[in-house]
Structure 1
Amino acid sequence: MAAAPCRNAAFRLIALPLFAAIVSGCWENDPPPQPPKPESNWTLDDARSFDQFPLYWLGANYEGMPLTLIRRRQATSYTPPPTGRGMATPDYVSYSYGELSLTGDPYSPSWMAPLEITIYPYCENSPEQLLSRLRNFEDDPNLDLHYEVTNIEIRGADGYIIQADGSKTISLWTGASAVFVNEWKSGVELEKAAQDLFPIAEDSGAELKPLPPPTSTEC
């Protein structure tokens, strides 16, 4: 099996959660069809009425980039082919800022946003679960994935800076949420974007308050 396509797919599962739903496997021969450009399947009103886990965003515009995409994905369990898709998908809400671009090699192309926020329920993406997945990917001989994890604190919330092959993600755990912030060729300072997060119920200009500590709740 070709190493590079699998490696790219694995990295997106770690650092680019929005596109994990697009990844369907690795290919040995012909590349797969180009994935469709993601479209919003949620509105701001949907996000503001959501109460399963707390959501955070950066307003309708951030650093000159408009909010271009809001997506809600409900978790699905593994269903083997040919009757199912053959993979489990996580539960999340994501916000994309700026125009999406198709990037990656022909075997694992992805639509990338310049800035993206993805929020999972804490129970599905705790620090321990994230580090376990990273170790599993690092131990896979097909992936050749190297990463570095650094502790960070954002307004009282503990998190990690994850750097892998030139890309960087910030993950935070606050309340019943795991919040991931990703930047791709936007020039935005990722730590500043994480510092600027505020609850979805509020608008730009709201006072930035300390983030609550994580709470362990069952999914």
Structure 2
Amino acid sequence: MKPVLPIVLATRNAGKTREIRDLLQGFDVEIKNLDDFGPLPPIEEDGDTFDENAYKKASLTARNLGLPALADDSGLLVDALDGAPGVLSARYAGEAASDRQRCAKLLEALKDVENRAAAFECVLSLAVPTGPALTYEGRCEGLICREPAGDNGFGYDPIFYYPPLNKTFAQLTMAEKSRVSHRGKALGQLRDEFDRVLIWIRQHMPGPEPIGCMGGRADE
């Protein structure tokens, strides 16, 4: 029986952690996140793209902890705002702002705008301590509501309306959201080849350090 492989999610976001654990259940992995470890150096998300930020978070987390790490960088791109808030989605209303405050700021920015088209994008990066990483991407298109609706999800979910299901993301069950969301699509790609991914991780994880012999040969 193969040992359970720990994979660290490079996040403290409980919502993301629940979604990823749900999508990867059934595999021989133990999904942890940063709250399962002691203090770690902060990682500045200063990339210009979701890809750059996801790789930086995954790779530095993997190196710091000596374990495979999975990071996502995702955000909301609003057509009428030229793609904003984009990579700044989590900090759109300030570093310490709540989800409600971020949604309120976005709704205020769009209060007189007719074009409500928007899309969520997600890039996943799965890295090992030696540096190599695998990348997966997902996108989901929708509209920005005039007011929040729904109590599920997190982030901008209450104001992101998904026309095919006639609901906001915050009105969907976790199973419904996982099937159609940007993160669900990226994770679906990862999940569909996860048996091969586990082989790749084990092949690229550093082996144990050799222990030197201090006393010479036993027959000397």
Which of structures 1 and 2 has the bigger CA Rg?
Answer: 2
- Name whichever structure is richer in strand by fraction: 1
Asked if these proteins are the same fold (TM beyond 0.5), I'd say no
* TM-score interval, smaller chain: under 0.3
The normalised TM-score by structure 1 is 0.25
If asked which structure has higher relative contact order (CA below 8 Å, sep 6+), I would say 1
The normalised TM-score by structure 2 is 0.25
